[in-house]
């Protein structure tokens, strides 16, 4: 059991490292192409790759889609979260944007009783209040400098929260590979449509020209790293259990801080450190409360 826990933690940590590394690659493309176009190309590449792997592994039967309405919701939620987060990376520090997105588990805990009819817990509201304070601490200097653009990571967190809830509703309905492929297959056309709408809007930052070959290569690299990262996280969860590996999500934040500092010279300020600490504390409190609740009482 101990060996499984260790390997599960290593798998999960590796997955989150890949995810944060992919975010850093996205940030290197700031100003080189529209964020909407980058998001679209990343998911088109991901959809092609995942659907190819699904066909090779499961044949046509793998594309039998359970509950297509919820699959569409999952794809739309990812598309919205991706658009918000990629746009945020172009105007904010990597660490700041990542920090704010970490409220998504808290949002899920708050919204789940409304949409999934799960029982609301006192610990959820305590953690939500603490996390909200952390978000305000991180947002305060950014909001004064960026205006409404500073709220983009919150939009991404909301999109991820919707995805988490939709995932719960369709859990076990298909193989993990199929579930990943379905997300990408729905997200890709939504993002392509968003890119064309942005191009027609007349906003210079959303204009789509012919990208440099390095942009295409980086988008494909992010598609591969993100899919690999999600697979590693899934493997870690199956080996050690979701409750054991849950705190490893904060590895992603540590990597984001490190890469932002090394690659872009973005040293987090005091507000970011304090806000991140408050949000992490809220997440760990909610995780611990959930684990205590799951421990069976002696007969």
pTM score, two decimals? 0.85
Question: For residue range 262-272, what is the model confidence (pLDDT) as tens digits?
Answer: 999 988 778 77
Contact 145, 96 (CB under 8 A): no
- pLDDT tens, position by position, 152-190: 988 998 998 898 888 888 878 888 899 999 999 999 999
The predicted-structure confidence for 19-55, as pLDDT tens digits, reads as follows 999 999 999 999 899 999 999 999 999 999 999 999 9
Question: What pLDDT digit, counting tens, does each position of 200-236 carry?
Answer: 998 888 999 889 999 999 999 999 999 898 888 888 8
Span 139-148, mean pLDDT?
66
Asked if 194 and 79 count as a contact pair (C-beta separation under 8 A), the reply is yes
Most confident of 32-46, 91-105, 245-259: 32-46
Q: Give which of 86, 84, 81 is closest to 218, Cα–Cα.
A: 86
Percent of the chain topping pLDDT 90:
40
3-state secondary structure 232-264: HHHHHHHHHCHHHHHHHHHHHHHHHHHHHHHHH
**For residues 127-148, average pLDDT:** 74
Tell me whether residue 29 is exposed, middle or buried, using C-beta atoms within 10 angstroms of its C-beta: 0 to 12, 13 to 18, 19 or more: buried
> What would you report as the CA-atom Rg of the chain, rounded to the nearest whole angstrom?
19
């Amino acid at each position: 059991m101990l060996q499984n826990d260790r390997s599960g933690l290593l798998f999960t940590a590796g997955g989150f490292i890949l995810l944060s590394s992919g975010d850093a690659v996205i940030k290197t493309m700031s100003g080189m192409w529209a964020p909407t176009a980058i998001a679209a190309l990343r998911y088109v590449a991901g959809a092609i790759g995942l659907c190819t792997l699904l066909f090779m592994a499961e044949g046509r039967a793998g594309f039998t889609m359970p509950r297509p309405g919820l699959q569409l919701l999952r794809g739309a939620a990812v598309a919205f979260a991706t658009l918000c987060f990629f746009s945020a990376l172009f105007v904010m520090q990597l660490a700041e944007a990542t920090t704010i997105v970490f409220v998504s588990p808290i949002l899920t805990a708050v919204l789940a009783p409304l949409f999934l009819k799960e029982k609301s817990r006192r610990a959820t509201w305590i953690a939500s209040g603490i996390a909200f304070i952390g978000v305000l601490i991180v947002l305060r200097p950014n909001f004064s400098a960026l205006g409404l653009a500073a709220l983009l990571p919150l939009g991404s967190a909301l999109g991820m929260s919707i995805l988490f809830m939709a995932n719960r509703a369709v859990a076990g309905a298909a193989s993990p590979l199929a579930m990943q492929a379905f997300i990408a297959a729905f997200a890709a056309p939504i993002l392509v449509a968003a890119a064309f709408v942005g191009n027609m809007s007349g906003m210079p930052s959303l204009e789509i020209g012919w990208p440099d070959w390095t942009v295409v290569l980086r988008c494909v690299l992010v598609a591969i790293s993100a899919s690999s990262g999600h697979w590693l996280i899934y493997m870690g969860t199956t080996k050690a259990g979701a409750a054991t590996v849950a705190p490893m999500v904060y590895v992603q934040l540590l990597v984001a801080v490190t890469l932002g500092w090394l690659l872009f010279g973005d040293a987090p300020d005091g507000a970011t450190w304090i806000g991140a600490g408050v949000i992490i504390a809220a997440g760990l409190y909610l995780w611990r409360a959930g684990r205590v609740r799951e421990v069976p009482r002696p007969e």
